[in-house]
Amino acid sequence: MLQHLLKIGIILIISAVIVALLPKIASFDSSYQKGMPWNHETLVAPFDFPIHKTPEELQAEAEKIAREHPPIFYRVETVMPVQVNRFRDRVSNAQHAAPVVNKLQEIYEKGILLLPGELRQEDLRAITVARNNFASEMDFNQVYTLKNAYSALVDFINGTSLPGETKKSLIDLDLNDYLKPNLVYDKQKTRLSLEKRLKEINRIHGMVHRGETIITKNERVSPEKYALLESFKIEQAKTIGSARSRLLITISQTILTLIALASFSIFLYFSRKRLFYSNKDFVFLHCMFLLTVLVGILGYSLELHFLLVPVLFFPIIVNILFGSRAALFLLLGAVLLLAYLAPNSYMYVFMQLSGGIVSIYSLSHLQRRGQLFLAVTLVLAAYILVYSAFTLVQQDAFTTEDLLALASLTGNALLLCLTYPVLYLFEKLFGYTSEISLIEFSNPNHPLLRLLTKKAPGTFQHSLMVANLAEEAVYHIGGSPLLARTGALYHDIGKTRDPIMFIENQTGGGNPHAALDFDESARIVIGHVMQGVELAHKHNLPDAIINFIRTHHGKSKAKYFYVSYKNKYPDRDADEAAFTYPGPDPGSKECAVVMMADAVEAASRTLEVKNEENISKLVNELINTQLKEGRFNNADITFKDIATVKRVYTEQLVTIYHARVTYPKLEKDDRDPAGENDPG
């Protein structure tokens, strides 16, 4: 009862956090997509409302204003008198210079400007000139650039009736030295003026009056109708928001959040009981649910492009650590909640579920690090395909907004690549073991496996056989084949402490157990379990692997020594605890499979005739005995799974011990008297 109350409390706390952070906005009751038919009843305007311009229209209008907005220049009054006086003083013949001086003054009166690099002459139609606190707009052709001013002055001189020598002497005075800009670009005032103009953009164009038909049933949602519906949605939200209290919205959001979380918990209860009853796993998975929703809410609150938010980030981590089903249900619940915020909810749900399914099943058996990057690439491809399909249905071509959306999807995929370092961090913080880590631990060059190979080669060969059997069985019944294989490789590492005491490492010279009492032999053999656990802790093996060391014998007896003791001392009461492994019994499907593989592989070596009949009989007897003793009561394994394991082990062992063809002896032949060409 306490366990269930704890889980209910966790659900309520997470629900409260999500609801507190969800924006308190009302949503439009009807769903619609651009280019698709209106599947609801004919919609009539219940009140007057303005028609809002679309984001594309507003952006186009803003771009036009920015393009046509005249830059502001201020006039420097001191430039003209200084330069004109300099020119007048330089000219020796004042009478001949008078017309040229007047022309120079005229040029300065109109204005000489120097364009900054951010302004292009070909883009300018007009400028605004500020003079004595007054601003006037002028055609760009009415003012001069330095180049135009020089040309105008030279043309004027050449067009006068002055003598040729006088003209030449005036032009040779280096006229550019007397032409200085007196119109200076005012960047700050230009920016402020542009911002003011942009704020003054009218965001509506027209009205819909009460009683007018907005859209009829089955009518195609054209771009114009889509704009009407979006405008109605905005105004309805304002109307509802003012009439409906925040309390009602909060209650509604609480109900939806609790349904999503409860559905996820119910799935765990019926499909992954081990995760449901483990407080650590239950809390971790629900925190992953919370983080997934919070990532979406954060993107909404920061006004990021909604498609940039990496909603699949934490479901991918859950998939790697706990499997595809837990990740899929987590994603489903979280995405349905986030669709409440998405601007195009149907497309958003379709896109996230498509990308989620692709990522989950492309990482279902993670064997290489590169799979993560391949999965991210496939997710991006799924995103782009879904978005493109919806866009082409809703409009004829891609717009600037669509290109921004595709760039956001690419950024989303790149952010998903960060799951690898975050996964490593979660493993260290919470003690989980991913398949990526299992790949590293299953490397034969791991120090413990090298120690096993060197000190107990017979045990290492036995462990390899058990690993192959267990891996194949888990492939058939479901689970993590890599976990079963890795656990099997380490299950007997305790035998490295005293390898000669185990028969697979005895190469002749007698059995040391012959000189020991049966209870002493049992103590030594049973001791390899705890010695293996100590060795595993010393080498920092994760609990997921240590569980195989603890449970590969469960609470069974060392039967050979127990039966031998009972036969030798029939009148004594045997201390059963001295002949019983410490356990516990396997708690997972993978550990149970390794227990079975360990027993049948070791026993199969003792068969004198290794044919299919004898192997099948041995496998069935050993596993049935373990089943009868209750060794699998704590594991999530079914009778159907056990039957499959028996079949797989029989097939594998028959293949391993298959009968070989006996080569005939070559009778003496003059052409090959020594039989040197025997192909064997």
- Residues sharing a CB contact under 8 Å with residue 653, sequence separation 6 or more, in sequence order: 469, 600, 601, 604, 610, 615, 619
Q: Which of 24, 22, 23, 30 is closest to 233 using CA atoms?
A: 30
Say if strands 112-113 and 43-44 run parallel, antiparallel, or are unpaired.
unpaired
Q: Which of 175, 76, 193 is closest to 128 using CA atoms?
A: 193
CA distance 618 to 128: 99
At 169, list the tokens.
């002497």
Considering the chain, what percentage of its residues have pLDDT values greater than 90? 44
pLDDT band at 676 (very low <50, low <70, confident <90, very high): very low
Q: Which of 215, 234, 227 is closest to 53 using CA atoms?
A: 227
Instruction: Give me the mean pLDDT over the 528-532 stretch.
Output: 95
Q: Which amino acid is at 13?
A: I
Q: pLDDT value at position 134?
A: 83
Element (DSSP H or E) covering residue 204: strand 204-208
Inter-residue contact 435 to 366 (CB < 8 Å): yes
Residue 68 has pLDDT above 90, yes or no: no
Instruction: Give me the mean pLDDT over the 108-123 stretch.
Output: 86
CA angle 197, 192, 140 (to 5 degrees): 75
Site of tokens 């058939």: 476
What ranges make up the beta strands (E) of 276-345? none
pLDDT band at 541 (very low <50, low <70, confident <90, very high): very high
Instruction: Give me the mean pLDDT over the 355-378 stretch.
Output: 83
Q: pLDDT value at position 660?
A: 53
Q: Which of 517, 511, 630 is closest to 564 using CA atoms?
A: 517
At 58, list the tokens.
């507003």
Query: How many CB atoms sit inside 10 A of residue 81's CB?
Result: 11
Mean confidence (pLDDT) of the chain: 86
Predicted confidence (pLDDT) per residue in 566-576, tens digit: 888 888 888 88
Instruction: Identify the weakest region by mean pLDDT among 164-173, 247-256, 559-568, 664-673.
Output: 664-673
Element (DSSP H or E) covering residue 75: strand 72-75
At 462, list the tokens.
């036995």
Most confident range (mean pLDDT) of 295-304, 395-404, 541-550 is 541-550
Site of tokens 């070559």: 666
Q: Which amino acid is at 269?
A: Y
pLDDT band at 591 (very low <50, low <70, confident <90, very high): very high
Burial pattern 169-182, b for ≥16 Cβ within 10 A else e, equals: ebeeeebeebbbbb
CA distance 139 to 125: 6
Handedness of CA 336, 342, 344, 348 (dihedral sign): negative
Inter-residue contact 435 to 320 (CB < 8 Å): yes
Residue 101 has pLDDT above 50, yes or no: yes
Considering the chain, what percentage of its residues have pLDDT values greater than 70? 92
Burial (CB < 10 A; 0-12, 13-18, 19+), residue 470, is buried
Inter-residue contact 182 to 111 (CB < 8 Å): yes
Q: pLDDT value at position 680?
A: 35
SS3 51: strand
Question: Would you give the distance in Å from CA 597 to the centre of its chain?
Answer: 37
In order of 440, 488, 489, 547, 588, the CA distances from 448 in angstroms are 12, 13, 10, 16, 24
pLDDT band at 615 (very low <50, low <70, confident <90, very high): very high
Q: pLDDT value at position 666?
A: 62
Predicted confidence (pLDDT) per residue in 486-498, tens digit: 999 999 999 999 9
In order of 6, 273, 440, the CA distances from 278 in angstroms are 11, 8, 26
Inter-residue contact 485 to 470 (CB < 8 Å): yes
- Residues sharing a CB contact under 8 Å with residue 111, sequence separation 6 or more, in sequence order: 73, 75, 129, 138, 143, 144, 182, 183
pLDDT band at 677 (very low <50, low <70, confident <90, very high): very low
Residue 113 has pLDDT above 80, yes or no: yes
Q: pLDDT value at position 3?
A: 78
Predicted confidence (pLDDT) per residue in 153-177, tens digit: 999 988 888 888 888 888 888 888 9
Q: DSSP character for 37?
A: B
Residue 551 has pLDDT above 80, yes or no: yes
CA distance 433 to 628: 32
Element (DSSP H or E) covering residue 629: none
Query: 109 vs 672, which has greater pLDDT?
Result: 109
Q: DSSP character for 220?
A: B
Instruction: Give me the mean pLDDT over the 416-426 stretch.
Output: 88
Predicted confidence (pLDDT) per residue in 76-93, tens digit: 999 999 999 988 888 866
Residue 183 has pLDDT above 60, yes or no: yes
SS3 52: strand
Predicted confidence (pLDDT) per residue in 450-475, tens digit: 999 999 999 999 999 999 999 999 99
Q: pLDDT value at position 495?
A: 94
Instruction: Give me the mean pLDDT over the 425-439 stretch.
Output: 86
Backbone φ, ψ for residue 608 (5° rounding): -75, -40
In order of 431, 484, 543, 607, the CA distances from 540 in angstroms are 11, 18, 9, 38
Residue 678 has pLDDT above 50, yes or no: no
How are strands ordered across the β-sheet holding 72-75? Answer: 134-139, 126-131, 72-75, 183-185, 112-113, 144-145
Tell me the sheet residues that pair with 75. Answer: 183
Instruction: Identify the weakest region by mean pLDDT among 346-350, 401-405, 477-481, 623-627.
Output: 401-405
Instruction: Give me the mean pLDDT over the 375-394 stretch.
Output: 89
pTM above 0.75, yes or no: no
CATH architecture designation of domain 2-23+245-430: Orthogonal Bundle (1.10)
Fold designation for 446-656: Hypothetical protein af1432 (1.10.3210)
Residue 241 has pLDDT above 80, yes or no: no
Query: 458 vs 217, which has greater pLDDT?
Result: 458
Instruction: Give me the mean pLDDT over the 417-444 stretch.
Output: 87
Dihedral of the alpha carbons of 601, 602, 603, 605, in degrees to the nearest 10: 90
Query: 514 vs 255, which has greater pLDDT?
Result: 255
pLDDT band at 298 (very low <50, low <70, confident <90, very high): confident
Q: pLDDT value at position 568?
A: 86
Q: pLDDT value at position 679?
A: 37
Q: pLDDT value at position 662?
A: 53
Instruction: Give me the mean pLDDT over the 545-554 stretch.
Output: 95
Long-range contacts of 120-127 (CB under 8 A, 24+ apart): 121/145, 123/67, 124/70, 124/71, 125/68, 125/70, 126/70, 127/70, 127/71, 127/72, 127/73, 127/183
In order of 125, 664, 676, 680, the CA distances from 673 in angstroms are 109, 15, 8, 16
CA distance 555 to 590: 17
